[in-house]
Amino acid sequence: MDIPEIDDKSIFEMVGLEDIKKRPDILPKVKLDVTPQMMMEPRFQSRPEDLEKLRDITGYMFYIETESEAPALMLLKIGRSDITNTVGRIEEIPAEMIQKAIAQPVLPPICGMYAITEEIRDWLKKELSL
């Protein structure tokens, strides 16, 4: 079985769903049920229950970023060591979905980050064939 070649720089330049679809190292690790609140929850590396929580959220999470010039749907990598990096911006999402998620948040925002709504989750599942 051939392993597709992965362009290392593309993880920092992903600007859409097509880029994400081309990354077999990312797509299976997308966690649509992880929220910014879960990711920002304090954890102590030495407690087993905190390590388990970190294992549960490790992967990729979508969120709405409101600290940028225009609110946007972003993809965040959550590492096993509690380190996170925003790795992508999803341009294809209808702006109304983002505005609705901000106007009627499913959870209170944290550090300018909003959790995705059920509508956005369904849209992502369809678009990414999850």
Q: Are 87 and 76 in contact (CB under 8 A)?
A: yes
- Degrees, nearest 5: CA angle 88-61-36: 115
Distance CA 56, CA 58 (A): 6
Residue 90 near residue 74 (C-beta atoms within 8 A): yes
C-alpha 7/C-alpha 113 separation (Å) is 28
What pLDDT shows up at residue 82? 65
Assess contact for 43 and 53: CB atoms under 8 A: yes
Q: Which pLDDT does position 3 carry in this prediction?
A: 43
pLDDT for 95: 95
What does each of the 130 residues of the chain score in pLDDT, given as a tens digit? 444 444 444 445 666 898 888 888 899 999 999 999 998 887 666 778 877 888 889 999 999 999 878 899 999 999 877 678 888 999 999 999 999 999 999 999 999 999 999 999 999 999 999 9
How many Å apart are CA 130 and CA 124, to the nearest integer?
A: 8
Q: What is the dihedral of CA 16, 37, 118, 113, to 10 degrees?
A: -50
Q: What is the pLDDT of residue 8?
A: 46
**Which pLDDT score, from 0 to 100, does residue 6 have?**
45
What is the per-residue pLDDT for 43? 66
